[in-house]
């Protein structure tokens, strides 16, 4: 048990962060970075990016991985490559990048409600939001747990809409023995520093569609199809070699990162399981999970509400997060553009009010988790 050094200092002099990067593989990274300097090739489809793309595609069992500079630009490119415009249906309960990737391209995000149990899109709500202006659906595998893929695919087929998945949380996860990455027309990954598997900044579009992959490759490099030959509008979405070096170095540790996340997850869950009013979000053990988010929901039986619990943790330098409060529809510009959106998003609003995400990953110890859970027990059980 970590004890407070005195009555005024927080229990942890160094904060415990959600999203603290996993940085194993430092020697491999430095070797690869050294070779990169020797080659004098730092970006623009270099050998490390190509090797990284090959490893990701093999790992996920997909035909193509197009490495991108970050997940947000990967979303933007995938959205364009799929020809989405007008209105696109997404959850509001997601990181703001999912909505911004549309708005940034003058596409209207239409927010559909979630299932309050899974936190993922409710297919019935998606159906209700489809209009003649709808040109696509973006499902999010929130917390790494698969979105309702089968139902969304059926809806997309029925209405002839492209289906894209924001799989920013779901690297290393599977649904019914199939790795996430191979669903819909394409899926988008994030390898941001805060993800359990990171390339500093980074992302990817993964797909089994040859033409889509080709288009995405053009779009990430200004539309160049060879020297002096631009054949398509494009942007700069290229991944730098140094980022691919980090990804290749981290690849050797994917399983061990997941094992540590799993250990931490069960330490939290076992310690909090009998506490009235606190639910630790479950992972289906029959599926592959990366366990990178430890998510608690604070219900009415808890003596303290979510904000009070987060404040108590913050006071001890345990920087729990209120992801994804208050929901995209209550952030700018969507709050002003769609002032009545909440009326159709009751589950989003309720879930956003009760979720907190706790620190995990390779930089936190079981002893520290023990302190965090004792603190939650103390605050949530106080009369
Ligand atoms: N779709 C979804 C569903 C996503 O969750 C995300 C990103 C995206 C799309 C877009 O992908 P990217 O374009 O980012 O590749 C963080 C991340 O920046 C973001 O990548 C992530 N989702 C989101 C869930 O979390 P913030 O605004 O919470 O970041 P920040 O700066 O508050 O940092 C989070 C925590 O991590 C803090 O406790 C500090 C800690 N941290 C962060 C960094 C960068 C470290 O300890 N070390 C670090 O190097 O968004």
60-75 residue pLDDT tens? 999 999 999 999 999 9
| Res 8 pLDDT > 90 | no
User: Is residue 21 in some structural domain?
Assistant: no
**Same-domain check for residues 209 and 230:** yes
pLDDT for position 9: 86
**Same-domain check for residues 45 and 122:** yes
Asked if 53 contacts 204 with a C-beta cutoff of 8 angstroms, the reply is yes
Q: How many domains are there within the chain?
A: 2
Nearest residue (CA) to ligand 1, atom 44:
193
User: Is residue 9 in some structural domain?
Assistant: no
**Same-domain check for residues 200 and 143:** yes
User: Is residue 337 in some structural domain?
Assistant: yes
| Res 243 pLDDT > 70 | yes
Q: Which of 12, 17, 19, 356 to mutate to test the pocket of ligand 1 (most atoms within 8 A of CB)?
A: 19
User: In terms of residue numbers, what domain contains 108?
Assistant: 26-250
C-beta of 292 in contact with ligand 1 (< 6 A): no
Q: What is the CATH number of the domain that holds 138?
A: 3.40.640.10
Q: Where is the domain boundary, 250, 271, 292? A: 250
**Same-domain check for residues 239 and 263:** no
User: Is residue 2 in some structural domain?
Assistant: no
Residue 202 CA: nearest ligand 1 atom is 15
Buried-exposed string 236-256: b where 16+ CB fall within 10 A, e elsewhere: ebbbbbbbbbbbbbbbebbee
User: Is residue 172 in some structural domain?
Assistant: yes
The phi and psi torsions of 31 (rounded to 5 degrees) equal -65, -45
**Same-domain check for residues 154 and 219:** yes
pTM of the model: 0.97
Q: What is the CATH number of the domain that holds 303?
A: 3.90.1150.10
C-beta of 295 in contact with ligand 1 (< 6 A): no
Where do the H-state alpha helices sit in the chain?
26-39, 47-60, 71-81, 96-103, 123-129, 149-159, 210-220, 241-251, 254-272, 306-315, 334-337, 346-354, 366-381
pLDDT for position 1: 44
Q: Where is the domain boundary, 229, 250, 271? A: 250
Note the pLDDT tens digit of each residue in 273-312: 989 999 999 999 999 999 999 999 999 999 999 999 999 9
Nearest residue (CA) to ligand 1, atom 29:
194
Mean pLDDT computed over every residue of the chain = 96
Asked if 204 contacts 184 with a C-beta cutoff of 8 angstroms, the reply is no
pLDDT more than 90, % of the chain: 96
Cα-to-centroid distance, 194 and ligand 1 (Å)? 5
C-beta of 193 in contact with ligand 1 (< 6 A): yes
User: Is residue 15 in some structural domain?
Assistant: no
CB atoms within 10 A of CB 132: 7
Asked if 361 contacts 196 with a C-beta cutoff of 8 angstroms, the reply is yes
Q: Which of 12, 192, 363 to mutate to test the pocket of ligand 1 (most atoms within 8 A of CB)?
A: 192
pLDDT for position 249: 98
**Same-domain check for residues 343 and 263:** yes
Q: Where is the domain boundary, 199, 215, 250? A: 250
- The C-alpha atoms of residue 45 and residue 84 are separated, in whole angstroms, by 26
Neighbour-count burial of 273, counting CB atoms closer than 10 A to its CB (0-12 exposed, 13-18 middle, 19+ buried): exposed
**Same-domain check for residues 56 and 104:** yes
C-beta of 94 in contact with ligand 1 (< 6 A): yes
**Same-domain check for residues 49 and 170:** yes
**Same-domain check for residues 141 and 279:** no
Cα-to-centroid distance, 286 and ligand 1 (Å)? 28
**Same-domain check for residues 84 and 169:** yes
Torsion of CA 60, 120, 73, 83, to 10 degrees: 90
User: Is residue 109 in some structural domain?
Assistant: yes
Note the pLDDT tens digit of each residue in 191-238: 999 999 999 999 999 999 999 999 999 999 999 999 999 999 999 999
**Same-domain check for residues 33 and 169:** yes
Determine the average pLDDT of the residues in 1-24. 80
pLDDT for position 4: 57
Query: What's the Rg (C-alpha) of the chain?
Result: 21
The phi and psi torsions of 288 (rounded to 5 degrees) equal -80, 130
Cα-to-centroid distance, 19 and ligand 1 (Å)? 7
C-beta of 68 in contact with ligand 1 (< 6 A): no
User: Is residue 356 in some structural domain?
Assistant: yes
**Same-domain check for residues 270 and 132:** no
């Amino acid at each position: 048990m970590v004890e407070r050094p005195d009555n005024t200092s927080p229990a942890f002099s160094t904060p415990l962060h959600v999203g603290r990067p996993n940085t194993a593989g430092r020697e491999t990274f430095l070797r690869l970075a050294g070779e990169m300097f020797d080659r004098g090739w730092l970006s623009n489809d270099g050998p490390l990016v190509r090797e990284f793309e090959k490893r990701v595609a093999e790992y996920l069992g997909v035909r193509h991985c197009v490495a991108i500079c970050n997940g947000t630009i990967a979303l933007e490119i995938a959205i364009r490559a799929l020809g989405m415009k007008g209105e696109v249906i997404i959850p509001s309960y997601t990181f703001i990048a999912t909505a911004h990737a549309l708005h940034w391209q003058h596409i209207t995000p239409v927010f559909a409600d979630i299932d309050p149990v899974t936190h993922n899109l409710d297919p019935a709500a998606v159906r209700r939001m489809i209009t003649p202006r709808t040109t696509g659906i973006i499902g999010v595998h929130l917390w790494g747990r698969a979105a309702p893929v089968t139902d969304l695919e059926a809806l997309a087929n029925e209405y002839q809409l492209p289906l894209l998945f924001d799989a920013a949380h779901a690297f290393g996860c599977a649904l019914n023995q199939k790795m996430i990455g191979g669903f819909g027309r394409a899926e988008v990954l994030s390898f941001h520093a805060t993800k359990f598997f990171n390339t500093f900044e980074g992302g990817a579009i993964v797909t089994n569609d040859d033409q889509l992959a080709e288009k995405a490759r053009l779009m990430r490099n200004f539309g160049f199809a060879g020297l002096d030959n631009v054949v398509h509008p494009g942007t700069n979405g290229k991944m730098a070699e140094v980022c691919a070096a980090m990804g290749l170095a981290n690849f050797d540790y994917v399983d061990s990162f997941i094992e540590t996340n799993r250990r931490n997850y069960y330490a939290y869950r076992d310690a909090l399981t009998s506490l009235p009013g606190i639910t630790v979000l479950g992972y289906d053990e029959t599926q592959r999970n990366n366990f990178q988010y430890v998510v608690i929901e604070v219900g009415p039986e808890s003596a303290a509400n979510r904000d009070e619990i987060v404040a108590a943790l913050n006071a001890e330098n345990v920087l729990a997060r209120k992801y994804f409060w208050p929901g995209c529809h209550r952030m700018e510009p969507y709050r002003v553009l769609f002032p009545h959106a909440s009326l159709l998003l009751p589950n989003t609003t309720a879930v956003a009010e009760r979720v907190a995400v706790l620190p995990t990953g390779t930089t936190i110890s079981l002893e520290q988790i023990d302190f965090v859970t004792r603190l939650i027990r103390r605050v949530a059980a106080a009369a």
